[in-house]
Amino acid sequence: MPSKRPTARPVEGRRWKVEGPAPTQAVKSRESRVSASPHPAKPARPAPARTTDPGPRTPDPGLGPRTPDPGPLGGRHVRPDATSKVAGLTRYVGDLALPGMLHAALATSKVAAATIAGIDTSAAVAVPDVVSVLTAKDIPGQNLVGVIFTDQPLLVTDRVRMVGDRLAVVAARTPEAAWAAARAVTADLRPLSGVYDPVAAMAPGSPTVHESGNVFKTFRVIRGDLARARKAASVVVEAEYHVGGQDHAYLEPQGCLAIPEGQRITIVASCQCPFYIQHAVARVLGLSLAAVRVEQAPTGGGFGGKEDYPSEPAACAALLAWRTGRPVRLLYHRELDLQVSTKRHAAVVRHRWGADAKGKLCFAEVETIMDAGGYVGLSTVVAERANVSAIGPYDVPVVDVKTHVVYTNNLFGGAYRGFGAPQVTWAAEATLDKLARSLGLDPLEIRRRNVLDARKRVLCTGQKLPGPVLAGEVLERATALAGWEGFKARRPAGDDHLRRGIGVSLVLYGCSLHWGGQKLDRSSAVVILQPDGSVIVRVGLAEIGQGNLTAAQTIAAQALGVDPSMVQVWQPDTTTVGDSGPTVASRGAHMSGMAILDAVARLRTRLDPVAAELLECQPSEVELAGSFARVAGQAGRAVPISRVAAEMASRRIEAISTGWYHPPEREYDPRTGQGAAYEFYALACHVARVAVDPELGLVKVEEVSASHDVGRVIHRDALEGQIQGGIVQAMGWGVSEALPLKDGVLQNPSFTDYVIPTSADVPAIKIDILESDGPGGPYGAKGIGEPSFIPTASAIRNAVCDALGIDVDTLPLTPPTVVAALGDRHPHAWVLEVKR
């Protein structure tokens, strides 16, 4: 049945029509600050409808609410899972237990590079309370994990490539017995010479991690005539940045529960993509996809660390459950999680950038070497984003970017908030400051002269940015919020030992998945209107702490004109919604929202006629708002939506509806990196103010000011929460979180020495939100999860260097790193030469 509102696509319509007026006009003066009124006035938004057909459309001027009613969009209603989380009532995997349940443990390699001459499980089997000890030969299906490439066995058989490679899995009646048995597994490992430096790994003659060679893949962006541009530049900066990795430090470590039921199996997992787990478990057990059900557990943080990695513990638990016929729960302890789960890639970024005498960028050459660790995992996808993000929101006519994915025997590189963009942004923003210094320009000024805008809207990929380009806008607003000019005019004095600095960084963030991941970029929703007018919503994207339930609830309530409290959004389950890909790339609200809007539009093809009958009007006149179905434009002619729902139920009208969304196909040439890498982009600018104690190398981030073009605010608290959290997490990466390794073994596998920020370190955070009419997702919303992270560490780095008057090109800026960068300029450096 065709939708009643097939052309009601005002948001999409704008997407294709608007060719960006000057930024100041495009901003619909809907900015607000944290301190502003909690319920800012917000214009009524037309309800977008069918979104499956991505072709250009003209908005139908006759549609959308004609009776003003703001609805919950952009407000601050209490997030639906807040109470249960605060009260400790949420049941995480670690809180779940079933009768007869066994506890799993992993026997892992303590060395990073070896051949395996044999694995002996006899001592493990003999541990009391142990029920099962399994090795690779016990796998009924394929011994493979990996989302994109299958270079990784679930259980190793002949070779160890990484500390933590699994030799055997154990199930026992108690966790203590399981881990004791895991420790009792012995392996005859013959050491190989490993490779622990990605730069060295690229050199000919280096030991190889896989037969195919250590350089797994190189991505490129090539644009313009480099030789000519080099000649035109009057200043050139060359630099090499060493950017460290990061652990996700989610509060809840990896965990899952596998429940076998005859010839099929259920997995309850803390994860970001139940569908990945479904595929992994089906492959390992040799089952059909339909025989594997994966339920999203309440998830205590993911940040990318639960994108692909949870497939590994899930496949282990599933194997043990399958073999023993009993439920099996696997919970990582923190030390194991820190050592073996995926990490933000450590990277070396080499730059040669040139500008003319006026500070206009002429060319940018970037070579990024990403340390993938022993297996490729998601490294290629991370590198794909790093590759096209290497230049930032700047107009550079000539670009040459190489991004290498390199195997080593180090930690397992993987997905992490920002996905490769934070590393290259850190480098790009540092280089801009260096260029500014050599030209005698203020860092703000060099950015003003180079940011993309309404006239210069072509990215390094050749993609022309559609809609308003608000790079200059966020730059001006964030720097104003931070008091940039005043700070530069009169630098605040510290007490005796402190020096103050200020730094700025921008980000251009491609929302949702890169062209290379297009096939995963789709989403599914189910909406069920209950006879009492309440609504069940299921989406394929997960709540992992970020607020996806809140966003989905807000969007569904807005579209159906009901109060958010009437909408219950349930976590994904592979048996109730279609594969919607991973909850990553800031795509949660975007993708769930579009699928919900589609489901609501389809539901309304059945709901509106019923409402019209009750209202004695035409179905096309029906409008849903304020908990009523009413005749558009006539607030007095209304029936409660609950009444319509009851009527549908009594007439046995189908009140369940599915929704589906996928973005339009894009063109991109991976050989040159030219094309539409992403569908649309968010822009943000962060400014950091720091106090540095140079002699002790201590960095205190005092304040971060953030200006974001979010398209549209879905839920203001959730949005601000993402910005605050992104800033704090990125500060940890930039300043204190280091992952020192010795032959692939992590030296600080606990929160005693892996130093994440605490509440006492949180800086003052000032937030400026810009709404804009450009391309976007539901109601025009873009993504916020990652843009909030990416420009923070770079702003902090630039502020620290501003305070010290020297460059620090190694991340994180720990006290020893800062002091080492000072070198002989440290006032007491001479004491190191004292004869003892």
Partner 1 sequence: MDLPINTVLRPASLAEALKLLAERPGARPIAGGTDLVVQLRDGRRHADVLVDLAKVGLAGIRDSERGLVIGAGTSMDAIAAHPGVRSRFPALAAAAARVGAWPIQCRATLGGNLGNASPAADTVPALLVAGAAVTIASARGQRQLPLEELFAGPGRTHLKPNELIVSVLLPSVRLGQGRRLVERFVKVGPRQEQIISVVCMAGRAIVAADGRIELVRLAFGSVAPTPVRARATERLLERKVLDGSLRHEALAVVQEDVKPIDDVRAPASYRRLAVATLLDRFLAEVARG
Window 160 to 199, contacts with partner 1 (CB under 8 A): 175-176, 179
Helices (H), 161-305: 175-184, 198-202, 226-232, 274-285
d(CA 395, CA 392): 9
- Please identify, using beta-carbon distances, which residue of 414 and 732 lies nearer to partner 1: 732
Residue 489 tokens, joined: 């005019």
Binding-site size, partner 1 (CB under 8 A): 34
CB 518 within 8 A of CB 666: yes
Widest pairwise Cα distance in the chain: 98
Residue 764 tokens, joined: 């003052």
- Please identify, using beta-carbon distances, which residue of 89 and 696 lies nearer to partner 1: 696
List, in sequence order, every beta strand (DSSP E) within 311-380: 328-331, 347-355, 361-373
Least distance in angstroms from the C-beta of 90 to partner 1: 21
- Please identify, using beta-carbon distances, which residue of 650 and 752 lies nearer to partner 1: 752
- Please identify, using beta-carbon distances, which residue of 33 and 497 lies nearer to partner 1: 497
Q: Does 757 bind partner 1 (CB under 8 A)?
A: yes
Helices (H), 413-517: 421-439, 443-448, 471-482, 484-489
Contact region with partner 1 (CB under 8 A), list: 88-96, 423-431, 655-663, 696-704: 696-704
Least distance in angstroms from the C-beta of 816 to partner 1: 4
Q: Which residues of 272-293 are buried (b: 16+ CB within 10 A; e: fewer)?
A: bbbbbbbbbbbbbbebeeebbb
d(CA 52, CA 501): 49
Least distance in angstroms from the C-beta of 697 to partner 1: 7
Residue 719 tokens, joined: 């949005």
Q: Does 251 bind partner 1 (CB under 8 A)?
A: no
Edge-to-edge strand ranges of the sheet holding 499-510:
32-33, 764-771, 698-711, 681-693, 499-510
Contact region with partner 1 (CB under 8 A), list: 41-49, 298-306, 464-472, 811-819: 811-819
Q: Facing residues of 504 across strands?
A: 687
Q: What is the 3-state secondary structure (H, E, C) of 30-74?
A: CCEECCCCCCCCCCCCCCCCCCCCCCCCCCCCCCCCCCCCCCCCC
d(CA 349, CA 392): 14
Which of 39, 747, 805, 825 forms a contact with partner 1 (CB under 8 A)?
747
Q: Does 94 bind partner 1 (CB under 8 A)?
A: no
Contact region with partner 1 (CB under 8 A), list: 298-306, 384-392, 414-422, 816-824: 816-824
Least distance in angstroms from the C-beta of 813 to partner 1: 10
d(CA 794, CA 734): 8
CA–centroid distance for 31 within its chain: 24
Which of 1, 357, 489, 831 forms a contact with partner 1 (CB under 8 A)?
831
Q: Does 832 bind partner 1 (CB under 8 A)?
A: yes
- Please identify, using beta-carbon distances, which residue of 652 and 828 lies nearer to partner 1: 828
Which of 28, 39, 91, 497 forms a contact with partner 1 (CB under 8 A)?
497
Contact region with partner 1 (CB under 8 A), list: 213-221, 321-329, 424-432, 815-823: 815-823
Q: Does 819 bind partner 1 (CB under 8 A)?
A: yes
Q: Does 410 bind partner 1 (CB under 8 A)?
A: no
Q: Does 255 bind partner 1 (CB under 8 A)?
A: no
Which of 736, 745, 806, 807 forms a contact with partner 1 (CB under 8 A)?
736
CB 15 within 8 A of CB 664: no
Which of 158, 496, 616, 665 forms a contact with partner 1 (CB under 8 A)?
496
Residue 604 DSSP class: H
Contact region with partner 1 (CB under 8 A), list: 216-224, 666-674, 690-698, 801-809: 690-698
Which of 34, 232, 755, 806 forms a contact with partner 1 (CB under 8 A)?
755
- Please identify, using beta-carbon distances, which residue of 621 and 761 lies nearer to partner 1: 761
Least distance in angstroms from the C-beta of 819 to partner 1: 6
Which of 695, 789, 790, 794 forms a contact with partner 1 (CB under 8 A)?
695
Which of 1, 41, 251, 760 forms a contact with partner 1 (CB under 8 A)?
760
- Please identify, using beta-carbon distances, which residue of 44 and 755 lies nearer to partner 1: 755
Residue 13 tokens, joined: 């319509």
Least distance in angstroms from the C-beta of 754 to partner 1: 9
3-state secondary structure of 820: helix
Least distance in angstroms from the C-beta of 760 to partner 1: 4
Q: Does 820 bind partner 1 (CB under 8 A)?
A: yes
Contact region with partner 1 (CB under 8 A), list: 243-251, 386-394, 457-465, 735-743: 735-743
- Please identify, using beta-carbon distances, which residue of 71 and 255 lies nearer to partner 1: 255
Least distance in angstroms from the C-beta of 810 to partner 1: 14
Distances (CA, A) of 543 to 147, 271, 540, 546: 21, 9, 10, 6
- Please identify, using beta-carbon distances, which residue of 64 and 815 lies nearer to partner 1: 815
Interface pattern 700-719 for partner 1 (x via CB under 8 A): x-------------------
Contact region with partner 1 (CB under 8 A), list: 53-61, 200-208, 263-271, 740-748: 740-748
CB 331 within 8 A of CB 610: no
Q: Facing residues of 481 across strands?
A: none
Helices (H), 329-467: 334-340, 379-389, 421-439, 443-448
Q: Does 698 bind partner 1 (CB under 8 A)?
A: yes
Amino acid at 210: H
Which residue from 579, 553, 581, 555 is spatially nearest to 567, judged by alpha carbons?
Answer: 553
Contact region with partner 1 (CB under 8 A), list: 567-575, 635-643, 645-653, 757-765: 757-765
Q: Are strands 698-711 and 523-529 parallel, antiparallel or unpaired?
A: unpaired
Q: Does 743 bind partner 1 (CB under 8 A)?
A: no
CB 688 within 8 A of CB 766: no
Q: Does 752 bind partner 1 (CB under 8 A)?
A: yes
Q: Does 609 bind partner 1 (CB under 8 A)?
A: no
Q: Give me the residue label for tokens 């939708």.
A: 3
d(CA 15, CA 309): 36
Residue 346 tokens, joined: 């450590």
Side-chain half-sphere exposure of 755, counting CA atoms within 13 A: 14
Distances (CA, A) of 719 to 117, 302, 547, 710: 53, 17, 9, 9
Contact region with partner 1 (CB under 8 A), list: 514-522, 549-557, 670-678, 754-762: 754-762
Residue 760 tokens, joined: 């006492």
- Please identify, using beta-carbon distances, which residue of 179 and 407 lies nearer to partner 1: 179
Q: Does 43 bind partner 1 (CB under 8 A)?
A: no
Least distance in angstroms from the C-beta of 734 to partner 1: 12
Which of 48, 253, 300, 697 forms a contact with partner 1 (CB under 8 A)?
697
- Please identify, using beta-carbon distances, which residue of 235 and 822 lies nearer to partner 1: 822
3-state secondary structure of 622: strand
- Please identify, using beta-carbon distances, which residue of 227 and 760 lies nearer to partner 1: 760
Contact region with partner 1 (CB under 8 A), list: 147-155, 529-537, 747-755, 799-807: 747-755
Give the dihedral of Cα atoms 105, 110, 116, 121; nearest 10 deg: -30
d(CA 295, CA 274): 7
Residue 545 tokens, joined: 């702490």
- Please identify, using beta-carbon distances, which residue of 7 and 748 lies nearer to partner 1: 748
Residue 438 tokens, joined: 């050599």
Which of 95, 696, 764, 825 forms a contact with partner 1 (CB under 8 A)?
696
Q: What does the binding site for partner 1 look like in residue numbers (CB under 8 A)?
A: 175-176, 179, 496-497, 695-698, 700, 735-736, 740, 747-748, 752-753, 755, 757-758, 760-761, 814-816, 819-820, 826, 828-829, 831-832, 834, 836
